[in-house]
Amino acid sequence: MKTYSTKASDIERQWYLVDAQGQTLGRMATRIASLLKGKGKTIYTPSLDTGDYVVVINAAQVRVTGNKAQQKLYRRHSVYPGGFKEFTFEQVMAKDPTQVIRHAVKGMLPKNSLGKAMLRKLKVYPGPEHPHQAQMKSEKEKE
């Protein structure tokens, strides 16, 4: 019996629509990361990008539990002296709610060029409208 090896020509990508309204950030991000990696497929290979496209709508209505809205911090540094900045979850949501979901999913993907390719297949929108209706042959909701 021969071992099956997935080739790039064998990969068929689907489009999934995820509605973030009322969903918990971390639980939703793990499902999205799994779809982007393609872990639910029988042809999954860790060294290939076998994942699907994911469109997230209503990102502005995602929720967190407990006091995370005030206590969860997003940090960055510009590499210059005094360039350290930190923002709370509420501040980031007020500025750009898509960044919260993108940041959560990015942390669950591989830290290499493969992870960057997977993250490019994630489309996040703050409201219910999105420009990917043509790609959605049959709107598959993954909740």
Number of neighbouring beta carbons within 10 Å of residue 49: 20
Share of the chain above pLDDT 90, in %: 87
- What local confidence, expressed as pLDDT, does residue 75 receive? 97
Amino acid at 131: P
Strand ranges, E, within the chain? 15-19, 53-57, 73-77, 84-88, 122-124, 140-141
User: CA 104: distance to chain centroid?
Assistant: 7
> Which range among 37-46, 60-69, 130-139 shows the weakest confidence by mean pLDDT?
130-139
What average pLDDT does this structure show over 28-40? 96
Mean pLDDT for the chain?
A: 93
- What local confidence, expressed as pLDDT, does residue 135 receive? 85
Per DSSP bridges, beta strands 73-77 and 84-88 are antiparallel
Q: Coil, strand, or helix at residue 99? A: helix
Question: How much is the pTM?
Answer: 0.90
Residue 72 phi, psi dihedral angles, 5° rounding: -70, 130
Tell me the per-residue pLDDT of 87-138, one tens digit each, with 9 for 90 and over: 999 999 999 999 999 999 999 999 999 999 999 999 999 999 999 988 876 5
Share of the chain above pLDDT 70, in %: 95
Q: How far apart are the first and last CA of the chain?
A: 38
Number of neighbouring beta carbons within 10 Å of residue 118: 24
- What local confidence, expressed as pLDDT, does residue 4 receive? 86
Binning pLDDT at 50, 70 and 90, where does residue 143 land?
very low
- Which domains occur in the chain, in start order? 14-141 (3.90.1180.10)
For 13, the token pair is 């990508």
Nearest Cα to Cα of residue 31 among 20, 21, 43, 42: 20
- What local confidence, expressed as pLDDT, does residue 134 receive? 87
- What local confidence, expressed as pLDDT, does residue 85 receive? 97
What average pLDDT does this structure show over 37-55? 94
